Amino acid sequence: MRQYQFVVGQAPGQEDIFYKSILQPYSNISSVSNQTYNLLKQARAALVTSGTATLETALFGVPEVVCYKSSNISYQIAKRLIKIKYISLINLIMDKLVVKELIQNDLTAENLSHELNELLTNSARQQQLKDDYAALKKLLSAGGDASATAAKSIYNFVNGN
């Protein structure tokens, strides 16, 4: 994957020093702040952690892998309290696995590399994502109020309706 440029989109409210300390050993990885949409316009693929960022990435049409890891105790508590099939807004809204979710122990360098390679090289997977993203946009725009449609879809899913 040396032919790609890796750029980290900094989360709002997170200090620059946080990213500098993590990225310091990697001269081939840069970061940007307050440029998420410009970054997505240029991205060929994305590794995404935040809830709304996953939906925004899909609406930009960027293939993505959802990555999430928390402390083991937090994960164990949440797993027992919250019963949902998916954590990404895209998968919740579509009620199917559209984007791969690497959660907790599945979030490894090997799995990330594999999934990113799939997004960049597997034309069948790329086409399926394009089709699913188009269906997502259609679903969100049905009735003219995308926010209400998304909220209702998630509410119904979480409540088993």
pLDDT digits (tens, 9 = 90+) for 106-152: 999 999 999 999 999 999 999 999 999 999 999 888 766 666 766 77
Band of the pLDDT at 71, cuts 50, 70, 90? confident
Q: Are residue 18 and residue 55 in the same domain, yes or no?
A: no
Q: Are residue 17 and residue 56 in the same domain, yes or no?
A: no
Q: CA–CA separation, 2 vs 21, rounded Å?
A: 22
Q: What is the pLDDT of residue 70?
A: 86
Q: Domain range for residue 83?
A: 46-158
Q: Are residue 2 and residue 72 in the same domain, yes or no?
A: no
Q: What is the pLDDT of residue 48?
A: 95
Q: Are residue 58 and residue 2 in the same domain, yes or no?
A: no
Q: Are residue 50 and residue 25 in the same domain, yes or no?
A: no
Q: What 3-state class would DSSP assign to 62?
A: coil
Question: Number of folded domains in the chain?
Answer: 2
Q: Are residue 25 and residue 51 in the same domain, yes or no?
A: no
User: Is 148 inside any structural domain?
Assistant: yes
pLDDT digits (tens, 9 = 90+) for 3-62: 888 999 998 888 889 999 999 998 889 999 989 899 999 999 999 987 889 999 999 999
In DSSP notation, 8-38 reads EEPPTT--HHHHHHHHTT-TTEEEESS-HHH
